[in-house]
Amino acid sequence: MSPETPTLKNFIAGQWTAPADGKYFDNANPADTRDIVGRFPHSSAADVDAAVASAKRGFEIWRRTPAPARGDVMRRAGEILIARKEELADMMTREMGKPLAETRGDVQEGIDTAFYAATEGRRMFGHTVPSELRNKWAMSFRRPIGVAGIITPFNFPLAIPTWKMFPALVCGNSCVFKPAEDVPMTGHLFVEILLEAGLPPEVINLVHGKGEAGAAIVAHPDVALVSFTGSTDTGSKVGEICGRTHKRLSLEMGGKNAMIVLDDADLELALEGILWGAFGTTGQRCTATSRLIVQEGVHDEFVSTLEKRAQKLVLGDGRSKGTDVGPVINTRALEKIERYIGIGTGEGATLRMGGARAKGTGLENGYFFQPTIFTGVKALSRLEQEEIFGPVLSVVKVKDADEAFRVNNDVRYGLSSSVYTRDVNISFRALNELDNGITYINAPTIGAEAHLPFGGVKQTGNGHREGGWEVYEFYSETKVGYVDFSGKLQRAQIDNY
Ligand code: UN1
């Protein structure tokens, strides 16, 4: 570690604060692990306690701030994100690995989310409905809930924290935020930006750390709601705790997203789509295309062209010009991918390309894995069913659209799906039939926009959505008001009948 390596702090009670027990961890660049981005607090339950106590105080100020004024803070945050887009993207690529074009997109998603949130501060619609009694009004409106525990993953270091915190804050909640330990610097910069935008200090609290800190947030009795994006296994544990303590919980978890290519598809278009869907972000998106379901008439031709094109993808540091595919996030990710290469081969799938750590100049010190394609993958095999979160694509051959739909649906996840066809009837049938929260027609499984609800069915989530208008339901509580101005007792259901 060089002498310039910065030591970062938590942000608690309006102060940048060292962790109570003085423990830190190093955050390394996954493209070159000799480059240490910073040392970050390895926080414990004591730090979380202090952060939650502060957020409780922050909530009392913030919940009384008018929603349009809260929205103004998000607008200013969006403006700062615009001004610092390049600098943020560079840091995000340095600590997370994906190419600059992608981290710029990640910041842009935060900007879009900020401006959407700013305007929502002037909507937050309730309903006014007629009362069944005379001289009485009935209405519903939205109230903030309390301290929100925000636990975010590494793959979208900025976009996902903004998806969660901008709506949480506009609705009037305060936040205790724990960014993934692989991308703490982006979390740090984001909190700085919120403060610069004018967020009152105790409304946001930042606690760095690993599972221990996350678990303490989830279990804390004064945390009223939790939003978590990460693995299905961790999500289940979070769900158990929140179930026992009756907390509101939004979960975004795994995916095993499929692209379906039918015989009548525009194959060139589908090719561009699959390269981006499967190998963009090195396959580390919840929305990544990890299964390619191809109809038999075009299967062989499509797969061989795909292989040729995938061989040309350039691996490297996401900050170098010309890099298509960056590293994966850490050693654990590499080891998991390797395990699945073994599982796939063991199940009799054909390893068409890749299948190993990538070697070569400039790759020696990073977590690089070759883009990998398996063909002859059987529906319901483990390779076809389980989330890998890396640059591994499994190709399944099918007879027709019905079989393709069946294969798509026969998994425990249901985030996104995609169909390439020129047949308008099949396109609309797909929208109806595919068990996913998002279906793309003639576009890959990635590409969600900030102003539409994002999320999946089955084991991908627990029914909530992020983004768009629906997330505001999650972060607020409906309250109903009845105002009787008749001057006498009117008994509902009795005096009017
Ligand atoms: C994720 O994969 O965790 O649609 C989020 C997309 C992005 C968001 C993905 N806009 O791929």
CATH code of the domain in which 221 resides: 3.40.605.10
Q: Cα–Cα distance between 217 and 296 in angstroms, integer? A: 50
Whether this model's pTM surpasses 0.95: yes
**Among 389, 418, 454, which residue has the most ligand 1 atoms within 8 Å of its CB, making it the best to mutate?**
454
Residue located via tokens 């396109």: 427
Question: Is 173 in the same domain as 44?
Answer: yes
Question: Is 88 in the same domain as 25?
Answer: yes
Q: How much distance in Å is there from the Cα of 281 to the middle of ligand 1?
A: 10
Q: Which run of H or of E encompasses 425?
A: helix 424-433
Known catalytic membership, residue 286: yes
pLDDT of residue 3: 72
The contacts of residue 479 (CB under 8 Å, 6+ apart) are 140, 141, 142, 143
pLDDT of residue 4: 87
Find out whether 150 and 176 touch, Cβ atoms under 8 Å.
yes
Residue located via tokens 């202090």: 50
Q: Considering its fold, how many domains does the chain have in total?
A: 2
Both structure tokens of 201: 């200090």
Question: Is 34 in the same domain as 149?
Answer: yes
Q: How much distance in Å is there from the Cα of 284 to the middle of ligand 1?
A: 10
pLDDT tens, the chain, 497 aa long = 577 899 999 999 999 999 999 999 999 999 999 999 999 999 999 999 999 999 999 999 999 999 999 999 999 999 999 999 999 999 999 999 999 999 999 999 999 999 999 999 999 999 999 999 999 999 999 999 999 999 999 999 999 999 999 999 999 999 999 999 999 999 999 999 999 999 999 999 999 999 999 999 999 999 999 999 999 999 999 999 999 999 999 999 999 999 999 999 999 999 999 999 999 999 999 999 999 999 999 999 999 999 999 999 999 999 999 999 999 999 999 999 999 999 999 999 999 999 999 999 999 999 999 999 999 999 999 999 999 999 999 999 999 999 999 999 999 999 999 999 999 999 999 999 999 999 999 999 999 999 999 999 999 999 999 999 999 999 999 999 999 999 999 999 999 99
Find out whether 402 and 245 touch, Cβ atoms under 8 Å.
no
The HSE-up count of residue 346 (CA atoms within 13 Å, CB side) is: 9
CA distances from 489 to 133, 137, 440, 484 (A): 11, 14, 56, 9
Q: What is the CATH number of the domain that holds 347?
A: 3.40.309.10
Find out whether 286 and 155 touch, Cβ atoms under 8 Å.
yes
Question: Is 200 in the same domain as 271?
Answer: no
Establish if 451 belongs to a structural domain. Answer: no
Beta bridge partners of 351: 374
Question: Is 265 in the same domain as 235?
Answer: no
Q: How much distance in Å is there from the Cα of 155 to the middle of ligand 1?
A: 9
Establish if 450 belongs to a structural domain. Answer: no
Number of the ligand 1 atom closest to the C-alpha atom of 109: 10
Nearest by Cα to 414 from 372, 385, 450: 385
Domain of residue 322 covers: 257-441
Question: Is 152 in the same domain as 167?
Answer: yes
Establish if 491 belongs to a structural domain. Answer: no
Question: Is 194 in the same domain as 297?
Answer: no
Question: Is 380 in the same domain as 248?
Answer: no
Establish if 99 belongs to a structural domain. Answer: yes
Ligand 1 pocket, Cβ-based, cut-off 6 angstroms: 109, 155-156, 285-287, 446-448
Q: Cα–Cα distance between 168 and 107 in angstroms, integer? A: 19
pLDDT of residue 181: 98
Strands 223-229 and 248-252 turn out to be: parallel
Establish if 446 belongs to a structural domain. Answer: no
DSSP type of residue 369: B
**Among 102, 446, 466, which residue has the most ligand 1 atoms within 8 Å of its CB, making it the best to mutate?**
446
Q: How much distance in Å is there from the Cα of 65 to the middle of ligand 1?
A: 32
Q: Which run of H or of E encompasses 272?
A: helix 267-279
CA distances from 470 to 316, 473, 476 (A): 38, 5, 11
Question: Is 207 in the same domain as 90?
Answer: yes
Q: Taking phi first (over 0 means left), then psi (-120 to 50 degrees means alpha), and beta for anything else, what does residue 202 get?
A: alpha
The contacts of residue 133 (CB under 8 Å, 6+ apart) are 484, 486, 490, 492, 495, 496
pLDDT of residue 1: 58
Q: Cα–Cα distance between 452 and 215 in angstroms, integer? A: 30
Q: How much distance in Å is there from the Cα of 54 to the middle of ligand 1?
A: 32
Known catalytic membership, residue 109: no
Number of the ligand 1 atom closest to the C-alpha atom of 287: 2
Active site residue: 120, 202, 252, 384, which one? 252
Question: Is 245 in the same domain as 264?
Answer: no
How many other C-beta atoms are found inside a 10 Å radius of the C-beta of residue 363?
Answer: 18
Find out whether 431 and 452 touch, Cβ atoms under 8 Å.
no
Both structure tokens of 492: 């509902």
Active site residue: 171, 286, 386, 387, which one? 286
Q: Taking phi first (over 0 means left), then psi (-120 to 50 degrees means alpha), and beta for anything else, what does residue 22 get?
A: left
Number of the ligand 1 atom closest to the C-alpha atom of 450: 10
Question: Is 309 in the same domain as 242?
Answer: no
Establish if 497 belongs to a structural domain. Answer: no
Nearest by Cα to 236 from 222, 218, 220, 212: 218
Q: Cα–Cα distance between 404 and 389 in angstroms, integer? A: 22
Q: Give the 3-state secondary structure of residue 370.
A: coil
Establish if 179 belongs to a structural domain. Answer: yes
Nearest by Cα to 223 from 266, 170, 173, 182: 173
Establish if 397 belongs to a structural domain. Answer: yes
Question: Is 409 in the same domain as 311?
Answer: yes
